[in-house]
Amino acid sequence: MLVIFYKIDIFVENNQQMKSKKQILFPKYQRVLEQLGENIKLARKRRRLTTMQVSERAGIDRSTLYEIEKGSASVSLGAYFNTLRVLGLQEDFLKLAADDEYGRKLQDLDLINTK
């Protein structure tokens, strides 16, 4: 029994350490997230939904929605997705990294060099 409790304590301790890790972004990239947050906030307001309505439907706290609308990097991708889903914008999620122009150029260069 003591071994089981010991392993649970380690799991809880490690889990807490993971949650406290802060994401660091360069200001240029932080502005991208802030713009995303602003877009989400505007979409919510256009639909005349309150923060309480959106957070309840998305299954998140109001404080998390506030962080999303600020463009916080510490909020999970799942919370961003659920918020977009509530607003009917879940298909926009598929647009992320969809056009990998740089990757295709690298692939094309590799195909040319392997002949």
pLDDT value at residue 101: 86
Rounded CA separation 64/60 (Å): 6
pLDDT in tens, the chain (115 residues): 434 444 444 444 445 545 557 788 899 999 999 999 999 999 999 999 999 999 999 999 999 999 999 999 999 999 999 999 999 999 998 888 888 888 888 888 877 776 5
pLDDT value at residue 105: 85
- Nearest 5 degrees, angle CA 78-CA 83-CA 87? 145
Ordered by where they begin, the domains of the chain are: 25-113 (1.10.260.40)
For 90, residues 6+ apart whose C-beta sits below 8 A from its C-beta are 81, 84
pLDDT value at residue 41: 98
| Distances, alpha carbon 91 to alpha carbons 8, 96, 102, 105, in Å | 39, 10, 23, 26
pLDDT value at residue 5: 41
